[in-house]
């Protein structure tokens, strides 16, 4: 037990881990006799930027959901900021996710009843961060992402690429420690994709936030410091 905790807190180079996945496994949702993936082990330090590639359906989104506490593994262990996630209940996971994580969902998941500005500001408000700094933070992000003229629009009025950039702004607005981005450039042209990736990298550097970027794009993956392939046997260096 002591050894496990020591390993969880310190990487091989002695850097304190932000996130440690230790042999995570998940059964196939529709066929629990079979494994979707096994042996998923990963060590992320603050400011790490990792790209995860892999065939469609291997479980990359499922893995991100597990890291965020939106799904549970069927085996294995996880620690975040040195704390074991294995025994946390759903409320505690929600609090941890809200404060320390930012998630860019593949399907965006913007809230249709909120404007663009309200969607982006939501994590800021939910965390009770100082209101006086909120508008400036949102404005900086939307201008950087080229969606500044849509602040008062409803999500249904946006193109797919605009929705995706709103989702990116919402994922980073509260300066999370860990950004989980599921295909965050999938709906974007090359120039917008570059804007999004440079913003993610900049936020990562400024806040020492770690980034897990799931992508099918080799160009997008090139922005990361480390590239990994994910399959039914876990992670492999690319
Ligand atoms: N809620 C669910 N119910 C049933 N099956 C599911 C559910 N969620 C995911 N799956 C299945 O689990 C497998 C992994 O899905 P997942 O979305 O994690 O893969 P992925 O690697 O992210 O794929 P892609 O690259 O296409 O986004 C797929 O076979 C999918 O059909």
Q: Is residue 139 part of a domain?
A: yes
> How many distinct structural domains can be found in the chain?
1
- Provide the pLDDT for residue 22: 98
Q: Is residue 26 part of a domain?
A: no
| Residue 52, ligand 1, Cβ within 6 A | no
**DSSP assignment, residue 192?**
H
- Provide the pLDDT for residue 32: 87
Q: Is residue 32 part of a domain?
A: no
Cα(131) to centroid of ligand 1, in Å? 38
- Provide the pLDDT for residue 29: 83
Q: How far is C-alpha 17 from the chain's CA centre?
A: 16
Contact in structure between 224 and 234 (CB atoms under 8 Å): no
| Residue 59, ligand 1, Cβ within 6 A | yes
Q: Which atom of ligand 1 is nearest to the CA of 58?
A: 21
Q: Is residue 161 part of a domain?
A: yes
Query: Going residue by residue through the chain (238 aa), what tens digit of pLDDT does each one get?
Result: 334 444 444 455 555 799 999 999 999 988 989 999 999 999 999 999 999 999 999 999 999 999 999 999 999 999 999 999 999 999 999 999 999 999 999 999 999 999 999 999 999 999 999 999 999 999 999 999 999 999 999 999 999 999 999 999 999 999 999 999 999 999 999 999 999 999 999 999 999 999 999 999 999 999 999 999 999 999 999 9
Q: Which atom of ligand 1 is nearest to the CA of 64?
A: 18
- Provide the pLDDT for residue 16: 79
Contact in structure between 96 and 158 (CB atoms under 8 Å): no
- Provide the pLDDT for residue 4: 43
Q: What are phi and psi of 186, to 5 degrees?
A: -60, -25
- Provide the pLDDT for residue 1: 39
- Provide the pLDDT for residue 44: 97
Contact in structure between 114 and 170 (CB atoms under 8 Å): no
Q: Residue for token digits 């590639």?
A: 53
Contact in structure between 123 and 174 (CB atoms under 8 Å): yes
- Provide the pLDDT for residue 14: 53
Q: Which of 61, 221, 229 to mutate to test the pocket of ligand 1 (most atoms within 8 A of CB)?
A: 61
Q: Which of 32, 60, 73 to mutate to test the pocket of ligand 1 (most atoms within 8 A of CB)?
A: 60
Q: Is residue 27 part of a domain?
A: no
Q: Is residue 147 part of a domain?
A: yes
Q: Is residue 140 part of a domain?
A: yes
Q: Is residue 227 part of a domain?
A: yes
Residue whose CA is at the smallest distance from ligand 1 atom 11? 29
Q: 116 lies in which domain range?
A: 46-72+88-237
Q: What is the dihedral of CA 231, 235, 236, 238, to 10 degrees?
A: 90
- Provide the pLDDT for residue 12: 52
| Residue 34, ligand 1, Cβ within 6 A | no
CATH of the domain at 204: 3.40.50.300
Contact in structure between 229 and 60 (CB atoms under 8 Å): no
């Amino acid at each position: 037990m002591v050894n496990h905790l020591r390993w969880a807190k310190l990487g091989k180079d002695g850097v304190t881990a932000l996130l440690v996945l230790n042999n995570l496994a998940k059964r196939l949702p529709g066929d629990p006799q079979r494994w979707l993936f096994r042996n998923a082990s990963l060590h992320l330090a603050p400011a790490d930027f990792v790209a995860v590639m892999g065939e469609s359906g291997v479980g990359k989104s499922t893995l991100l959901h597990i890291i965020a506490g939106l799904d549970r593994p069927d085996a294995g262990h996880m620690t975040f900021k040195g704390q074991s996630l294995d025994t946390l209940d759903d409320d505690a996971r929600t609090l941890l996710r809200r404060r320390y994580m930012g998630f860019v969902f593949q399907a965006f998941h913007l809230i249709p009843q909120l404007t663009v500005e309200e969607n982006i500001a939501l994590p800021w408000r939910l965390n009770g961060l100082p209101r006086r700094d909120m508008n400036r933070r949102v404005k900086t992000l939307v201008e950087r992402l080229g969606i500044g003229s849509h602040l008062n629009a409803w999500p249904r009025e946006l193109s797919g690429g605009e929705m995706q950039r709103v989702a990116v702004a919402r994922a980073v607005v509260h300066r999370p420690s860990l950004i989980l981005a599921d295909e965050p450039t999938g709906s974007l042209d090359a120039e917008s994709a570059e804007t999004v990736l440079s913003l993610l990298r900049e936020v990562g550097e400024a806040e020492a936030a770690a980034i897990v970027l799931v992508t099918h794009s080799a160009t997008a993956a090139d922005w990361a410091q480390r590239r990994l392939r994910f399959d039914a046997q876990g992670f492999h260096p690319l």
